[in-house]
Amino acid sequence: MSELLILNGHVVDPAQGVDAPRDVLVRDGRVAAVEPPGALASLADSLPKELQIDAAGCVVAPGLIDIHVHLREPGQTHKETIATGTAAAAAGGFTTVVAMPNTTPVNDSVERLRWMLAAERHPLIHLLAMPAATFGSNGCEITDFDALVRAGAVGFTDDGKPVLEDDVMRAALTAAAALDVPVSQHAEDTRLTSGCSMNLGPVAFRLGLRGMPAEAEARIVERDLLLLREMERADHVRPHLHVQHVSTALALRAIRAAKKAGLYVTCEAAPHHFTLTDEAIGDYDTNAKMNPPLRAEADRRALVDALLDGTVDCIATDHAPHASHEKEVEFDRAPNGITGLETALGLALRVLHREHGMTLSHVLQLMSARPAEVLRLRGRGDLRVGSDADVVVFDAGEEWNFAVKDSRSKSKNSPFDGAPMLGRVHATVCAGRVVYRA
Amino acid sequence: MSSRPKVEALGYKSGPISETKGPYATTNAAGSAYAPGSLLTVEHLSVADVAEILASATRLERMAAAERARVLVDRTVALLFYESSTRTRTSFELAAKSLGVTTTLVSDKSSSIEKGESLKDTGLTLRALGAEAIILRHPASGAPFLLARVTGLPVLNAGDGMHQHPSQALLDLRTILIRLGLGGAASHVSDTRHGAPSSAAINEKTLAGVTVVIAGDIRHSRVARSNAMLLPRLGARVVLCGPPELLPEEALGLNAYLDANASGSPAIEIERDFDVALRSATVVMMLRIQKERLEGTALDLAEYVERYQLHGARLVALAPRALVMHPGPIIRGLEITGEVADGPQSAIEEQVAQGLAVRRAVLVRALGERA
């Protein structure tokens, strides 16, 4: 029997509506008790100090869940490994991450999925995976959804690329609906974005870079929503579409309307999209290059509004590590993506909570309870007795500046070097084990 | 650049942290992350910088050749060209040699760049070989910024992608001043009775009342961007002219980086009708049109020529006194007819000549003159 006691903290558990001083007892990897101060006092006396976390002045919340990360293993381990990526995640307060399939080779078979999820990869926290929706993520033929779900897949995506063909997307949605998992779409009409390296607009014009129009994102979202509508009506199935990293007012409007109409659509937002605009590219900073790109201020505001009004279901980082030599090249040749696991909470609290008045509970819901719901993860994203003992302990008022040199990720490609953060993780507990301690 | 929107405008203050880059770096708008003397974009030049460069061009021009050849003697500059070039390369090279500089030319066609060597490593190699400054022409917008950051050397942008070609804008400016007799232009031409040109002659009002029409493929033109970002700061009104395919509305976004002109209207305007634009032109700059850029657009070549070609009848009827400019290379019979290019209103050859004068000045600025 292994025990851990988290004392003197303030529990915020959005799933249960708890927002009060509570002590948390963890036993054998599960939440054993959440009690008002004093109730676990006798245990505290008997338990050795190293099995206790003093959370005085801190928030104690369900471990964060990131349903969109790139851990680069297999095949690109010079950028990141499952071990280093999950270590960065733990430092950022995450206890579950979902690995995207664009590894080398692409994760499109049961064998590769099993390899990725094996204990030999040494994930520090819970690792889940979304395999490719199509073989090689080539957008042509869907993978064996049934076998992959039995092997642990929590959804399907060709992330980095869209599933462009209507027929293929329809087949993917049909197969996923039968298995009750989402198809997660990277919404980009690549016919409109060829040769583009940033957002279309005045900044791109000034920098002489080709820009991606907002329509490229909105068009795929609208096409997918049309498919959902058709399939509900004609085929009597209710597929779940999850839209990744929404970045434009145009796409958010379509998603909001579809939700109102009752379609099964969810979506995620990345911290960099609600924090920065394309102005952050400055003098061609490749650490401000990702896809979808940083957008205009009107889009950023629309994203904040959609987070506040519930149109956006969860925050996901799209953590995308790249080696410095890969980023230290001409802007239009640099790979897309930035790291994000260690800055997500600090940015969400600073931008959404402090600057836009989102409640702490809502922020945490977007980072734990809701992503767990989106992927139907039972016993995750809450602190119910019996749930996985995944806990983050953080000082919600602590101001600090992120220093990329201190990152646990193998890569340092972050535009947030030196950026002010609000809220600092003091400890992360995953399945009852302390996986990070400040 | 007082009106430049900063990241701070979003409410994110730079922290007191040093050694950071990106949006939270403590500085970059002034270009201070780059070696002094770098010329990456006209946006980094203050009006005083521009005045100094022009004054220096004049001073160097007036020097006896033998004296001039000692100004930068024993200094080393590399010309790094990833794109073909006639005018710019030759002009920089001759400018450097006339100052006594040792130059070496590296092109992507005949170097280890072909073997996949990165821009960074190429730059570090040139520095290790003794280059004290690098003149870079590159097809990727922003490449000179990267080279300047990784080498720490002064970098002179000789054209990067669709972004900037600062020395071209400076030579265009010098051509305009001389041909229009502005900004104490008498002191810009060689052999005058006046003393050294007063740099105070160039200021925010030097080009007041001058309308510069830039016509053609604005979208892909670094020359257009450079002139549009430089000339308004000396008081010029810039009118961009071209079809939407080659001149998107976003171009007006450049106004966010410029102060409004004296009458309070934006410095840069768009006029789709070339004839209307020409009527107001003091200067008309024609840009090369590439046939392949029209493919897939609503416009065909014949229609483009009909609407936007600068030919004799058009010029006589609408802008009989306007100065005609073109950065080259010219495609005669396409954007401009031969008679106009060779005609009395044309300053095209003078532009090339001014290139030499201006590039001497920016080289001296980059390397620092011997005391």
Question: How far off is chain A from B132, nearest CA to CA, in Å?
Answer: 22
Res. B199 pLDDT band, cuts 50 70 90:
low
Backbone angles phi, psi at A96, to 5 degrees: -140, 130
Mean pLDDT within B124-139: 97
Backbone angles phi, psi at B42, to 5 degrees: -65, -20
- Site from B80, B250, B257 to mutate, A interface, most A CB atoms within 10 angstroms: B250
Q: What is the pLDDT of residue B299?
A: 81
Mean pLDDT (chain B, rounded): 87
- Site from A198, A203, A206 to mutate, B interface, most B CB atoms within 10 angstroms: A206
Using an 8 Å CB-CB cutoff, list chain B residues near A332: 140-142, 161
Q: Which of A277, A288, A417 sits opposite B20 (nearest CB)?
A: A417
Backbone angles phi, psi at A329, to 5 degrees: -140, 180
What's at B147, amino acid-wise?
A: L
Instruction: Give the whole-angstrom CA distance, residue A239 versus residue A243.
Output: 13
Q: Are residues A282 and B140, on separate chains, in Cβ contact within 8 Å?
A: no
Helix (H, G, I), strand (E, B) or coil at A115: helix
Instruction: Look up the domain containing B321 and give its range.
Output: 169-353
Q: Which of B13, B119, B253 sits opposite A206 (nearest CB)?
A: B253
Residues B340 and B360 reside in one and the same domain: no
In sequence order, which residues have a C-beta less than 8 Å from that of residue B253 and are 6 or more positions away?
A201, A202, A203, A205, A206
Q: From the centroid of its chain, how far is CA B308?
A: 23
Q: Would residue A34 count as lying in a domain?
A: no
Residues B138 and B287 reside in one and the same domain: no
Residue of A53, A75, A4, A65 lying closest to A33 (CA atoms): A4
Residue of B256, B251, B261 lying closest to B231 (CA atoms): B261
Strand partners, A211: A198
Buried b (16+ CB within 10 A) or exposed e, B179-196: bbebbbbebbeeeeeeee
Strand partners, A98: A128
Q: Are residues B23 and A209, on separate chains, in Cβ contact within 8 Å?
A: no
Mean pLDDT within B125-134: 97
Mean pLDDT within A24-33: 97
Mean pLDDT within A320-348: 98
Is the pLDDT at A100 greater than 50, yes or no? yes
Using an 8 Å CB-CB cutoff, list chain A residues near B150: 328
pLDDT in tens, A102-145: 999 999 999 999 999 999 999 999 999 999 999 999 999 999 99
Is the pLDDT at B14 greater than 80, yes or no? no
Q: Which of A332, A415, A420 sits opposite B15 (nearest CB)?
A: A420
Res. B23 pLDDT band, cuts 50 70 90:
confident
Q: Which of B13, B24, B164 sits opposite A416 (nearest CB)?
A: B24
Mean pLDDT within A343-367: 98
Res. A258 pLDDT band, cuts 50 70 90:
very high
Residue A324 burial (10 A CB sphere; 0-12, 13-18, 19+): exposed
Q: What is the pLDDT of residue B360?
A: 98
Q: Would residue B259 count as lying in a domain?
A: yes
Mean pLDDT within A408-436: 98
**Token digits of residue A332:** 């239009």
Mean pLDDT (chain A, rounded): 97
Question: How far off is chain B from A72, nearest CA to CA, in Å?
Answer: 23
Residues B88 and B136 reside in one and the same domain: yes
Residue of B313, B291, B314 lying closest to B303 (CA atoms): B291
Beta strand spans in A73-210 (E): 94-99, 126-129, 156-157, 183-185, 198-199
Using an 8 Å CB-CB cutoff, list chain B residues near A403: 17
Q: Are residues B250 and A204, on separate chains, in Cβ contact within 8 Å?
A: yes
Is the pLDDT at A298 greater than 90, yes or no? yes
Question: Percent of chain B at pLDDT above 70?
Answer: 86
Q: Are residues A282 and B22, on separate chains, in Cβ contact within 8 Å?
A: yes
In sequence order, which residues have a C-beta less than 8 Å from that of residue B109 and are 6 or more positions away?
none
Backbone angles phi, psi at A225, to 5 degrees: -65, -35
- Site from B13, B42, B145 to mutate, A interface, most A CB atoms within 10 angstroms: B145
Contact between A367 and A392 (Cβ < 8 Å): no
Q: Would residue B21 count as lying in a domain?
A: no
Residue B247 burial (10 A CB sphere; 0-12, 13-18, 19+): buried
Q: Find the closest chain A residue to B117 by CA distance.
A: A329
Backbone angles phi, psi at B358, to 5 degrees: -70, -40
Instruction: Look up the domain containing A251 and give its range.
Output: 63-381
Res. B190 pLDDT band, cuts 50 70 90:
very low
Contact between A356 and A304 (Cβ < 8 Å): yes
Pairing relationship of beta strands A64-69 and B283-286 according to DSSP bridges: unpaired
Backbone angles phi, psi at B283, to 5 degrees: -135, 140
- Site from B6, B7, B38, B124 to mutate, A interface, most A CB atoms within 10 angstroms: B7
- Site from A205, A297, A343, A414 to mutate, B interface, most B CB atoms within 10 angstroms: A205
Q: What is the pLDDT of residue B193?
A: 36
Q: Find the closest chain A residue to B159 by CA distance.
A: A208
Q: Are residues B253 and A205, on separate chains, in Cβ contact within 8 Å?
A: yes
Buried b (16+ CB within 10 A) or exposed e, B299-338: beeeebeeebbbeeebbeebbeebbbbbbbeeeeebbbbe
Mean pLDDT within B293-320: 90
Q: Which of B22, B143, B162 sits opposite A285 (nearest CB)?
A: B22
Q: Find the closest chain B residue to A405 by CA distance.
A: B20
Q: Would residue A7 count as lying in a domain?
A: no
Residues B280 and B257 reside in one and the same domain: yes
Using an 8 Å CB-CB cutoff, list chain A residues near B11: 355
Residues B157 and B194 reside in one and the same domain: no
Res. B262 pLDDT band, cuts 50 70 90:
low
In sequence order, which residues have a C-beta less than 8 Å from that of residue B296 and are 6 or more positions away?
none
Nearest-5° Cα angle at A299, A294 to A304: 100
What's at A303, amino acid-wise?
A: L
Residues B177 and B134 reside in one and the same domain: no
ipTM of the complex model: 0.93
Q: Which of A208, A287, A332 sits opposite B222 (nearest CB)?
A: A208
Q: Which residue has the tokens 């190293």?
A: A50
Mean pLDDT within B60-72: 96
Q: Would residue B23 count as lying in a domain?
A: no
Res. B183 pLDDT band, cuts 50 70 90:
confident
Residues B51 and B159 reside in one and the same domain: yes
Q: Are residues A332 and B140, on separate chains, in Cβ contact within 8 Å?
A: yes
Show which residues of A are catalytic.
Answer: 318
Q: Find the closest chain A residue to B163 by CA distance.
A: A208
CATH code, B88? 3.40.50.1370
Is the pLDDT at B28 greater than 50, yes or no? no
Q: From the centroid of its chain, how far is CA B184?
A: 21
pLDDT in tens, B145-162: 999 999 999 999 999 999
Give B174 or B115, the one with higher predicted confidence.
Answer: B174
Domain count, chain A: 1
Q: Are residues B142 and A330, on separate chains, in Cβ contact within 8 Å?
A: yes
pLDDT in tens, A44-53: 889 999 999 9
Give A86 or B198, the one with higher predicted confidence.
Answer: A86
Q: Would residue B81 count as lying in a domain?
A: yes
Using an 8 Å CB-CB cutoff, list chain B residues near A419: 12, 15, 23-24
Question: How far off is chain A from B19, nearest CA to CA, in Å?
Answer: 9
Residues B99 and B157 reside in one and the same domain: yes
Is the pLDDT at A147 greater than 80, yes or no? yes
Contact between B139 and B19 (Cβ < 8 Å): no
**Token digits of residue A81:** 């490994």
CATH code, A290? 3.20.20.140
Q: Which residue has the tokens 């005949």?
A: B110
Using a CB–CB cut-off of 8 Å, the residues of A that contact B are 200-209, 211, 275-277, 279-280, 282-285, 287-288, 297, 300, 325, 328-333, 355, 401, 403, 414-420
pTM, to two decimals: 0.93
Q: What is the pLDDT of residue B33?
A: 82
Using an 8 Å CB-CB cutoff, list chain B residues near A202: 250, 252-254, 256
Q: Would residue B332 count as lying in a domain?
A: yes
What's at B278, amino acid-wise?
A: L
Cis peptide before B329 (omega within 30 of 0): yes
HSE at residue A367, side-chain half, CA atoms within 13 A, is: 33
DSSP secondary structure of B220-258: T-HHHHHHHHHGGGGT-EEEEES-TTTS-GGGGGGGGGS
Q: What is the pLDDT of residue A44?
A: 87
- Site from A205, A215, A278, A283 to mutate, B interface, most B CB atoms within 10 angstroms: A283
Residues B310 and B181 reside in one and the same domain: yes
Residues B288 and B312 reside in one and the same domain: yes
Q: Which of A200, A207, A287 sits opposite B22 (nearest CB)?
A: A287
Buried b (16+ CB within 10 A) or exposed e, B129-144: eebbbbbbbbebbbbb
- Residues comprising chain A, all counted: 438
Q: Are residues B145 and A283, on separate chains, in Cβ contact within 8 Å?
A: yes
Q: Which of A300, A333, A418 sits opposite B17 (nearest CB)?
A: A418
Q: What is the pLDDT of residue B333?
A: 94
Residues B307 and B192 reside in one and the same domain: yes
Q: Which of B15, B146, B163 sits opposite A401 (nearest CB)?
A: B15
Q: Would residue A117 count as lying in a domain?
A: yes
Contact between A338 and A88 (Cβ < 8 Å): no
Q: Are residues A401 and B252, on separate chains, in Cβ contact within 8 Å?
A: no
Res. B195 pLDDT band, cuts 50 70 90:
very low
Q: Are residues B161 and A208, on separate chains, in Cβ contact within 8 Å?
A: yes
Is the pLDDT at B106 greater than 70, yes or no? yes
Question: How far off is chain B from A178, nearest CA to CA, in Å?
Answer: 43
Residues B211 and B160 reside in one and the same domain: no
Using an 8 Å CB-CB cutoff, list chain A residues near B143: 330
pLDDT in tens, B167-180: 999 999 999 999 99
Is the pLDDT at B4 greater than 80, yes or no? no
Helix (H, G, I), strand (E, B) or coil at A104: coil
Res. B21 pLDDT band, cuts 50 70 90:
low
Contact between B214 and B240 (Cβ < 8 Å): yes
Q: Are residues B5 and A208, on separate chains, in Cβ contact within 8 Å?
A: no
Using an 8 Å CB-CB cutoff, list chain B residues near A274: none
Mean pLDDT within B293-304: 82
Using an 8 Å CB-CB cutoff, list chain B residues near A417: 17, 20-22, 24
Instruction: Give the whole-angstrom CA distance, residue B284 versus residue B309.
Output: 12
Taking CA atoms, A148 is separated from A151, A372, B94, in Å, by 5, 19, 67
Q: Find the closest chain A residue to B17 by CA distance.
A: A418
What's at B167, amino acid-wise?
A: S
Q: Is the dihedral of CA B67, B72, B78, B83 positive or negative?
A: negative
Q: What is the pLDDT of residue B269?
A: 97
CB atoms within 10 A of CB A386: 10
Contact between B217 and B287 (Cβ < 8 Å): yes
Q: How many CB pairs under 8 A join A and B?
A: 128
Domain count, chain B: 2
Is the pLDDT at B97 greater than 90, yes or no? yes
In sequence order, which residues have a C-beta less than 8 Å from that of residue A438 and are 6 or more positions away?
A424, A425, A426, A427
Instruction: Give the whole-angstrom CA distance, residue A158 versus residue A382.
Output: 29
Question: How far off is chain A from B325, nearest CA to CA, in Å?
Answer: 22
Backbone angles phi, psi at A360, to 5 degrees: -55, -40
Mean pLDDT within A192-212: 97
Helix (H, G, I), strand (E, B) or coil at A39: coil
Instruction: Give the whole-angstrom CA distance, residue B217 versus residue B338.
Output: 19
